[in-house]
Structure 1
Amino acid sequence: MQRMGMVIGLQPGKIEEYKRLHAAVWPEIIDLISRCNVKNYSIFLKEPENMLFGYWEYHGTDFEADMAKMAADPKNQEWWSFCIPCQKPFETRQEGEWWAMMEQVFHMD
């Protein structure tokens, strides 16, 4: 299992829309995330900075393949068509990232 943290900004005028979307995530999206070997997924919002922090646990063996499967799914592409306009990625993210991945520096069981 691999613990993963990531951050992204949230457009100031889109906070309520993003909260509304995530208060009722489509069942197909939840199922897809599970089929891509992601568990214990949470997103937190820090205001007034409008920063989202995401955390999940990856339980698969081929992260790139699972993320490609997730990205290629038509229902997920539709979901992202609502979510992506709400987000404001960090300029310092790595090439190919939308959410900026973070290095885990501590964990306590």
Structure 2
Amino acid sequence: MKREGFKMFLKPGCEAEYEKRHNAIWPELKALLKETGVSDYSIFWDKETNILFAVQKIDGGQNSQDLGSNPIVQKWWDYMADIMEVNPDHSPISIPLDELFYME
């Protein structure tokens, strides 16, 4: 199992809505993530920059950002596009981060 981190960008003033939507994550999306090996998924918010920092454990070949061909993920991206910085296909602008330190 490996860990992956990435950052995304929240639109100003949308933090409460972002948190609300994620607190009510769709069961089918959660099941899809678990089925593809994504677990221990956390997203943190930097209030000064509106950067979202995500960390997830991956047991398989795909992380959450690699599932864009799935209709459930596409529907979620469409749902979130009004409160995040996104690409033309509504996927979140996501920048992978290299892990430099981990303490177990």
* Structure 2 residue 83 is matched with structure 1 residue 86: yes
Give 5+ residue unaligned stretches, structure 1.
90-96
> Which residue of the partner structure matches residue 95 of structure 2?
100
- SS of the residue aligned with 2:13? helix
Which is helix-richer, 1 or 2?
1
Q: Could you report, residue by residue, the CA deviation over 1:16-49 in whole angstroms, capped at 9, with x for unpaired residues?
A: 2211111110000100111111110011111032
Identity rate of aligned residues, in percent?
30
Please give the secondary structure, in 2, of the residue aligned with 1:12: coil
User: What is the alpha-carbon distance in structure 1 between the residues aligned to residue 62 and residue 29 of structure 2?
Assistant: 17
Unaligned runs of 5+ in 2: 87-91
Runs of 4+ in 1 over 3 A off after TM superposition: none
Q: Give the match's secondary structure for 1:32.
A: helix
Alignment of 1:1-109 (within 5 A): 1-60=1-60, 62-63=61-62, 67=66, 70-88=67-85, 98-109=93-104
Provide the aligned C-alpha RMSD in A. 2.0
